[in-house]
Structure 1
Amino acid sequence: MKSEKPTQEDYDKWHKDPKNWYFGFCYYNPKDKRLLPPKRIEWMGLTINFANPYSVMLLLPFLIIVILVLSK
């Protein structure tokens, strides 16, 4: 049985649920397959869904570049 794509209502409910936000700013929701959901304060841009392994793979090269640049 194929699972249905989440509705905008699902996304809104997940976004408002404090259990999906660690330390108030780290988003972790395995049900949400988006790589970059909106931040808790939506007008501030996007954040990483740490429950999505592809998001973490997106973050690692960025962190390595920042570390390399700052270490020079």
Structure 2
Amino acid sequence: MVQKDPIDDPQNYKFGVFYFNRTDIRVVVPKRSRILGYSLNFANWKSYVFMLLLILAASYFIYFKGNIVKA
């Protein structure tokens, strides 16, 4: 018997966009249309840590490493 991938189940999506599956241990999952890339499993706490680190890294580089001309 072939097991269906949980990302194909529409019940695992909030508002039809955000993947939310508590039983899926993956943090990064392929999107329903796999050619469009990857998404996060918002039921996993590690995805929120990943997003926070990404925002902090982007903020650091923009604020400290940006080419801002100071008068």
Q: Of 27, 39, 43, which aligns to 2:31? A: 39
TM-score (norm 1): 0.68
Alpha-carbon distance between aligned partners in 2 of 1:48 and 1:35, rounded to the nearest angstrom: 6
In 2: Cα distance, 1:46 partner to 1:55 partner: 12
Q: Is the strand fraction higher in 1 or 2?
A: 2
Q: How far apart, CA to CA, are the structure 2 residues paired with 1:62 and 1:38?
A: 19
Structure 2 residue ranges without an equivalent (≥5): 67-71
* 5+ long unaligned stretches in structure 1: 1-7
What is the correspondence of 1:11-50 to structure 2 with a 5 Å cutoff?
12=5, 14-50=6-42
Backbone CA RMSD of aligned residues: 2.1
Structure 2 Cα separation of the partners of residues 63 and 18 of structure 1: 29
The structure that is helix-richer by fraction is 1
Equivalent pairs counted in the alignment come to 61
Please report the TM-score for the alignment, with normalisation by the length of structure 2: 0.68
Aligned-partner Cα distance in 1 for 2:3–2:38: 18
Q: Indicate if the aligned counterparts of 1:49 and 1:55 stay in contact, CA closer than 8 A.
A: yes
Whether the 8 Å CA contact 1:37–1:49 is kept in 2: the answer is: yes
Runs of 4+ more than 2 Å apart: 63-66
Mapped partners of 1:65, 1:22: distance in 2: 27
